Amino acid sequence: MSLMRNLPAALAAVALVGGLGLAAAPARKAAPAKPRLQESQMSLEKELLAKYGEGQRTRLERGMKQVTQFWRAEDGDAKAYEEFVRTNFAGDGPTLDALFERMEFALESFDGHTLEINRDFRMQTDLDRGTIYPFDETLAAYDPSAHVNDDFFANKIAFVVLLNFPLTTLEQRLSEGDNWSRRQWAEARLASRFSKRIPADVNLAIARAAADSEQYIAGYNVWMHHVVDEKGNRLFPAKMRLLSHWNLRDQIKADYGDSTNGLAKQRAIQQVMERIVTQTIPKAVVDNPRFDWNPFTNEVRPSTEKDFDEAILPAASAAPKLANAPEPDTRYAKLLADFQASRKADPYSPTAPTLIARRFDENRELPEARVRKMFEDVLTSPLVPRAAKLIEKRLGRPLEPFDVWYAGFKQRGKYSEAELDDIVRKKYPTAEAYKKDIPNILQKLGFSKERAEYVADNIIVHPARGSGHASGAAKRGYKAYLRTRVEKDGMNYKGYNIAVHEMGHNVEQTFSLNDIDHTLLSGVPNTAFTEALAFVFQGHDLELLGLVKPDAKSRALATLNDFWGTYEIAGVGLVDMAVWHWMYDHPNATPAQLKAATLQIARDTWNKYYAPVFGKKDVVLLGIYSHMIDSFLYLPDYPIGHMIAFQIERQMEKAGSIGPEFERMTKTGNVAPDLWMKKATGAPVGPEALLPATAEALPEIENAKD
């Protein structure tokens, strides 16, 4: 399951706002006027040092610098600034402790209560509770914390924090953070909440660009019954409408199971994907079944088949003048608009002054150079050609480029989906039945009876309207919510599988909020961690039903599946990174220039890491991911997520039991990822667990008899 699609709503919102909040290169618009504060500094500093002692010099100088960095004319003149510093500098231990404790308590309260309000306002749209009225949508869209940053700068709470607690760079957090006390980490997290002051119009521009590119991606469907081969044969069934890139890729994966037409279908989809990346796709065939299209010759004809309902199609697609006119680089125009909006925030984010820095230094807290190295370690691993050879053997043919999505390591279980549905439906006819069983499930996962009951008491189970999500609390004592689908006749296997995943989130949320020392450190370092922890639970779902325990072979297959998936997505991540760098280096580029650059980057990356095993050069498939267009440099999270999941799972295996290890890990909270991982497993984040596991798994399958 994807990381982003499964994020709890509140977390996703935080991740998105955080991500977009941090932007890129210097924008042309000048920062707002600042009053002249320099003259006031010297005498004020002298006065306060006389009062509090020379020992406060470093703190005071840093605090004043941090405040002036964000102070604007609207905040007051030099006199007001002086008065502010004089009144609010906490120059002795007891005052500083009181300020820290007050801020921790107040922010927990603010975050906790606004989250509760938010969840309540979304209740009707999130849960399976009948009609959604227009006012329900309005309630759901409301975010009570939307203006908190502006409010806290306006009433100067943000400045009080900036005057007294240190803003830190990633480099500091990494080089010094291992030796920080928990309080120092909590102070760093407290200050970082106010590390940027982005004007409302800039945030609005970013939100508009994001919504616009998201809408473009959400409508990018291909009607597969109308994709024909040279003889006009239709390879795909009527009404099949695939969203790029997710459904197209998943169809390639599914077609490994089709021994008659699978290969022809996979080749056709690859061709469709390449047409999208190169923008040679005729505009008329995007989400439009009125035309038949041969993606190899690019020929377009009015369709002879009608497998659609006029009402669901955009009217504009009815009669384009030139049916085979290509899409006019819209894909790259959207990406460019994301970039132009993002960089408007750059001048207001001094500790991370580009979107690239905001993503790596703030959201991920892993330096970009290290992330690149981790990806290259996987991409250049000698295990890649071995895995490739094994796939060729299993397929009985040479690899083709779309085999980056090879899905044949995934095993079909012993039980059919229908059998599993039956078993689960009987066991969990209602959400309440699942809720009642949580203490048992947790004990099967190795938690003591006491801990299992404690966590179970903190979880409320609701039938979800959509597929499911987990929504933790942000204030101690409030509950965590598990939402999953429960059909009228009971939970089916898919709903159960998701429930186990979401329960993993809930257990993490419970420990990492209620059982740690500082609420300013609640949570995990980044979303990849919470997903990895949830996957640990999810991976045991069949055992929890008492059905199967994976044997050595199925474990080896699962490892190879992860390895090949990481190899594929690591290259995609590198393309995303290189394209953002190119945009920052060419801020005045046109969509056509961005397209040319992206194609070059995709080809170069392919030629370096994939062509040697695939035996074909200049493939552009690595540029197909939709996230590249609407998710602002999100893609590197996937390969990092795979590596983190592996590290965590291996550690649990080593420990021999999930429960106590899960609790120990999640109580570390939101410190830097490497520090978290070192505490959890003894090693920093990286492919150090994935690669050895793959090396062990390969011979297991290479030497298998069947």
Residue with tokens 């796709």: 281
- CA 559 to CA 551: how far, in whole Å? 12
* Alpha-carbon distances of 549 from 532, 540, 577, rounded to whole Å: 20, 8, 40
- Least distance CB 508 / Zn ion (angstroms): 10
Nearer to Zn ion, 6 or 56 (CB): 6
Using the contact rule CB under 5 A, the part of the chain among 48-56, 79-87, 221-229, 526-534 near Zn ion is: 526-534
Structure tokens at 543: 């055992």
- CA 165 to CA 170: how far, in whole Å? 16
Output phi, psi for 5, to 5 deg. -65, -20
* Alpha-carbon distances of 255 from 180, 464, 624, rounded to whole Å: 52, 31, 19
Nearer to Zn ion, 88 or 538 (CB): 538
Using the contact rule CB under 5 A, the part of the chain among 4-12, 409-417, 558-566, 577-585 near Zn ion is: 4-12
Nearer to Zn ion, 6 or 342 (CB): 6
- Least distance CB 99 / Zn ion (angstroms): 36
Nearer to Zn ion, 7 or 677 (CB): 7
Using the contact rule CB under 5 A, the part of the chain among 56-64, 214-222, 506-514, 531-539 near Zn ion is: 531-539
- Least distance CB 523 / Zn ion (angstroms): 14
Render 451-519 in DSSP notation, one character per residue: HHHHHHHTEEEEEBSSSEEEE--SSTTPPEEEEE--BTTB--HHHHHHHHHHHHHHHHHHHHHHSSS-G
Binding mask 403-442 for Zn ion (x = CB under 5 A): ----------------------------------------
Cα–chain-centroid distance for residue 705? 40
* Alpha-carbon distances of 250 from 216, 253, 406, 576, 623, rounded to whole Å: 20, 5, 10, 21, 16
Nearer to Zn ion, 378 or 499 (CB): 499
- Least distance CB 505 / Zn ion (angstroms): 6
Using the contact rule CB under 5 A, the part of the chain among 87-95, 410-418, 471-479, 528-536 near Zn ion is: 528-536
Using the contact rule CB under 5 A, the part of the chain among 1-9, 20-28, 259-267, 599-607 near Zn ion is: 1-9
- For residues 558-594, one letter each, b for 16 or more C-beta atoms within 10 angstroms of the residue's C-beta and e for the rest, the string is bbbbbbbbbbbbbbbbbbbbbbbebbbeeeebebeeb
- Least distance CB 338 / Zn ion (angstroms): 25
Which residue number places its CB atom closest to Zn ion? 6
Amino acid at 180: W
Nearer to Zn ion, 289 or 565 (CB): 565
- Least distance CB 211 / Zn ion (angstroms): 24
- Least distance CB 531 / Zn ion (angstroms): 5
Using the contact rule CB under 5 A, the part of the chain among 3-11, 144-152, 452-460, 678-686 near Zn ion is: 3-11
Nearer to Zn ion, 6 or 114 (CB): 6
- Least distance CB 434 / Zn ion (angstroms): 17
HEC readout, 175-189? HCHHHCCHHHHHHHH
Output phi, psi for 475, to 5 deg. -125, 135
- DSSP-derived letter for residue 222 is E
Please confirm whether the linkage preceding 226 is cis (ω < 30° from 0).
no
Beta strands in 18-153 (DSSP E): none
Q: Which of residues 571-610 bind Zn ion (CB under 5 A)?
A: none
Q: Is 6 in the site for Zn ion (CB under 5 A)?
A: yes
- Least distance CB 570 / Zn ion (angstroms): 21
Q: Which of 241, 260, 401 is nearest to 251 (CA)?
A: 241
Nearer to Zn ion, 195 or 527 (CB): 527
Nearer to Zn ion, 336 or 534 (CB): 534
Neighbour tally for 30: CB within 10 Å: 7
291: enclosing H helix or E strand: strand 291-294
Structure tokens at 185: 């980490």
- Least distance CB 631 / Zn ion (angstroms): 16
Nearer to Zn ion, 327 or 531 (CB): 531
Instruction: Give the 3-state secondary structure percentages of the chain, helix then strand then coil, rounded to 5.
Output: 60, 5, 30
* Alpha-carbon distances of 59 from 7, 138, 186, rounded to whole Å: 38, 46, 17
β-strands 459-463, 468-471 pairing: unpaired
Nearer to Zn ion, 191 or 544 (CB): 544
Amino acid at 206: I
Using the contact rule CB under 5 A, the part of the chain among 121-129, 507-515, 529-537, 652-660 near Zn ion is: 529-537
Nearer to Zn ion, 192 or 670 (CB): 670
Nearer to Zn ion, 4 or 547 (CB): 4
- Least distance CB 10 / Zn ion (angstroms): 13
Q: Which of residues 195-214 bind Zn ion (CB under 5 A)?
A: none
Q: Is 384 in the site for Zn ion (CB under 5 A)?
A: no
- Least distance CB 6 / Zn ion (angstroms): 3
* Candidate residues 276, 336, 424, 534; the one interacting with Zn ion per rule CB under 5 A: 534
- For residues 612-650, one letter each, b for 16 or more C-beta atoms within 10 angstroms of the residue's C-beta and e for the rest, the string is ebbeeeebbbbbbbbbbbbbbbbbbbbbbbbbbbbbbbb
Using the contact rule CB under 5 A, the part of the chain among 5-13, 87-95, 168-176, 229-237 near Zn ion is: 5-13
Non-local (6+) Cβ contacts of 178 within 8 A are 675, 678
- Least distance CB 106 / Zn ion (angstroms): 30
- Least distance CB 5 / Zn ion (angstroms): 9
Binding-residue total with Zn ion (CB under 5 A): 3
Q: Is 342 in the site for Zn ion (CB under 5 A)?
A: no
Nearer to Zn ion, 146 or 460 (CB): 460
Using the contact rule CB under 5 A, the part of the chain among 136-144, 527-535, 583-591, 626-634 near Zn ion is: 527-535
Using the contact rule CB under 5 A, the part of the chain among 176-184, 525-533, 590-598, 672-680 near Zn ion is: 525-533
- Least distance CB 7 / Zn ion (angstroms): 6
CA angle 634, 635, 640 (to 5 degrees): 105
- Least distance CB 553 / Zn ion (angstroms): 28
The answer to whether 82 touches 444, Cβ cutoff 8 Å, is no
The answer to whether 238 touches 225, Cβ cutoff 8 Å, is yes
Nearer to Zn ion, 187 or 562 (CB): 562
Using the contact rule CB under 5 A, the part of the chain among 433-441, 523-531, 560-568, 602-610 near Zn ion is: 523-531
241: enclosing H helix or E strand: strand 241-243
Site residues (vs Zn ion, CB under 5 A): 6, 531, 534
